[in-house]
């Protein structure tokens, strides 16, 4: 079976949570269970941030779907914990000012053609969508243009005790600069854009 291309609709707050965890895992809500359980290694994920109306990132799925009820992401319904999860690796991640404008790119996608032109945003309702490979590749290319070649994420593994924490610089007792002990996580850096896209997010 070939890889599947997903569009995941999230909020800025929840994207920041995923980002703070090094884009190591993504959860999907209970309403999208049937789709979530189909996610598998080598699938690709495109992130759309609903409250910013922009495309923000892409990632690659590295595990099969599993369930976990640890509360990580936030939802207006207290009982929702996004239990259907997959492990991921980030590919392209933009800072918020550089998001690719959904109002410019969205109406051009093949995926939205089943909706009337003026109702194209309805195609983005719900958290998880299967989209054509052509759409995914197009938006990912725009993300790379918006962020420049160095928007491709540099991921470094820091292995310790299995929880997620922020890496901070610290000075040892001998005055030498070092890195504080951190939990197991992925630390990544996203370079500022070096070129501008024609599909910048509306201010």
Q: What's the burial of 40, exposed, middle or buried (CB within 10 Å: 0-12/13-18/19+)?
A: middle
Rounded CA separation 193/95 (Å): 9
Q: Chain centroid to CA 60: how far?
A: 9
Q: What is the pLDDT of residue 158?
A: 29
Domain ranges of the chain: 5-148
Adjacent-strand bridge partners of 171:
177
Q: What is the pLDDT of residue 118?
A: 85
Q: What is the pLDDT of residue 194?
A: 37
**CATH architecture of residue range(s) 5-148:** Roll (3.10)
Q: What is the pLDDT of residue 179?
A: 33
pLDDT tens, per residue, the chain with 203 residues: 579 999 999 999 999 999 999 999 999 999 999 999 999 999 999 999 999 999 999 999 999 999 999 999 999 998 999 999 999 999 999 999 999 999 999 999 999 998 988 898 899 999 999 999 999 999 999 999 998 755 666 543 323 333 344 444 343 444 443 333 333 334 444 433 333 444 444 44
Rounded CA separation 73/181 (Å): 25
Q: What are phi and psi of 132, to 5 degrees?
A: -65, 150
Rounded CA separation 163/165 (Å): 7
Long-range CB pairs of 169-173, under 8 A, 24+ apart, other chains included: none
- Under 8 Å between Cβ of 88 and 58: no
């Amino acid at each position: 079976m070939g890889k599947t291309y997903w569009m995941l609709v999230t909020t800025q707050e929840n994207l920041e949570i995923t980002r703070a965890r090094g884009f190591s895992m993504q959860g999907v809500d209970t309403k999208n269970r049937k789709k979530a359980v189909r996610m598998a290694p080598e699938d690709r994920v495109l992130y759309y941030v609903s409250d910013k109306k922009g495309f923000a990132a892409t990632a690659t799925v590295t595990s099969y779907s599993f369930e976990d009820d640890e509360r990580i992401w936030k939802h207006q319904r207290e009982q929702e914990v996004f239990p259907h999860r997959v492990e991921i690796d980030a590919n392209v991640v933009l800072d918020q000012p550089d998001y690719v404008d959904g109002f410019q790119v969205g109406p051009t996608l093949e995926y939205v053609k089943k909706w009337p032109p003026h109702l194209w945003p309805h195609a983005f309702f719900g958290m998880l969508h299967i989209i054509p490979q052509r759409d995914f590749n197009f938006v990912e290319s725009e993300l790379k243009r918006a962020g420049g070649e160095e928007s491709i994420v540099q991921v470094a593994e820091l292995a310790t005790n299995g929880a997620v924490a922020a890496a901070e610089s610290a000075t040892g007792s001998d005055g030498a600069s070092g890195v504080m002990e951190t939990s197991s996580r992925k630390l990544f850096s996203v370079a500022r854009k070096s070129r501008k896209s024609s599909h910048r997010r509306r201010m």
